[in-house]
Structure 1
Amino acid sequence: MAREETGRIRRPAAARREQILAVAADAFAIAGFRGTSLAEVAQKVGVSQPGLLHHFSSKEALIIAVLQQRDLQDEQYVEAQFAGTETTTREWLMAFCRRNETQPDLVRLFTVQAAESLDPAHPAHDFFYQRNQRVRNRIAQLIEADQAKGRLLSSLDPAAAAAELVSLMNGLQLQWLRDPAIDMCGLFEASLLRLENHPNTVTPLVEPPQAEA
C-alpha cells in the first residue's frame, strides 16, 4: 500500500469504502446518527474529512449506505442457506435470529437507528419504513405457503401474524442487548412452534374419564 505525504496509508477505493462503512457502523451503533460526526469517523479511519466525503457525500448518505450494506449482507447470507430448497416460516426466521446472535454490534446498530428514525426528519426514516414493509410481506408470504401445506394454523391472518412476529423479534433483541443471558432465539422459536399445526400432539385440557374395569 502506498503512503500519502501525511503518512496515511492509501488504500484502493473499494477497500477504503469498506473500511469507512465498518468504522461508521460502530460509531452509529454507539452514539446514534446525531451523536456521530464525520470528523470522528474520518479520524478513526485515518483519512481527512474531505477524503471521506470523496466516498460518501454527506453523513446522511453514509448512514444509508451502512444500513443498506448490512441489510443486504444478512439477506444474502440467509437466502444462500436455502438456495434451491423450500423453506418454512420458522426455518427462515430462525436463520436470521441465529445470525443476529453472532453479531450484537449489528443488532445494536439497527435497534438504535430504528428508534431514532421514528422522527420523520431522520435520514433513515423511509429506509426503515420500507424495510419493515418488505420484511412483513416476506413473512406473510411464507406463512401463506405454510398454511397451504398444513404446517401452520389455518386460523392465522398472515399479515397480522407477520407484524406480531416482527414486533416480537424486535422486542427480544432489545432485551438481549440489555441482558445477553436471555435466550433470544430459544424464546423466539418457542413462539413460532405455537403457531404450527400439530393435530396429533394436542394435549386435552381435561383428562378423559377412565373406563371402568
Structure 2
Amino acid sequence: MSSSFSGATLVVGLGGVTNGGKTTMCKALEDLFSSNKYHLRVKSLHMDDYFHPTDDPRHIHLEEFNHHDWDCLEALDTDRFIADVQSFRSQCDLLLVEGFLIFNVSSPKHSKLFDLGYYFDLPYEECRRRRSSRNYDPPDPEGYFEGHVWQAYVNAKTDALEQNKHLGLELIDTTKESFDQVQAKIVSDIERSLKHG
C-alpha cells in the first residue's frame, strides 16, 4: 500500500450523533492503518479534547437544567481545533478527526478541513439508551437528553449536511449495518483515496 501512496495527507472526518460509535471507529482505523499492513503515519484528533473548562465564561448556561449547554459549538475551542487539524496535516499521512460537531465548524476561508466525511446517525431510542449508560463529567441532569440533547443533535445534523454538500457526507447508522461492515466500507474508501491522491 505504501508504495502507491500519493504523498498528500488524507483527512477523514468521523462526525455525528452522540454515542454513535465515532471514537470506537477512529481507534479501529488508527490501529489498522498504522499497522505493518500499511506502514502509514497516522494521527487522530478528538473533538472532546477541545471543551472549554466548566468555569469558562463562553459557556451558554441553560437555566431550566441548571447546566451548561455542552452540545453546541460555544462549548468548544473551535479556533484551537481548526489550528490543530491544519498543523497535524503536516505531521502524518492519514489524519482521523472525530467528534460530534466536527462538520459544524466553519472551515477557514479558501480551504477545506476534510477529504472524506462520515456522519454517524442513530434512532432516538437507541441513542437515548446508549447515552444513559455512559457517565459524563459533569453528569447529565434529569431530562437533559430528552429536553435538549436530541433536538440539538437534530439541528446540528441539518446544518452539517447543508454546510458540507461539497463533501458528500455519507450517513452511517450502526443499527442498520454492523460495525465491521461500516469499517470495511470506510477502509475501502481510504485505500482508494490514498492510492489515487
TM superposition score normalised by structure 2 = 0.25
Report which of the two structures shows the higher radius of gyration computed on alpha carbons.
Answer: 1
Q: Which has the higher helix share?
A: 1
Asked which structure has the greater RCO (Cα within 8 Å, sep 6+), the reply is 2
TM superposition score normalised by structure 1 = 0.24
Q: Which has the higher strand share?
A: 2
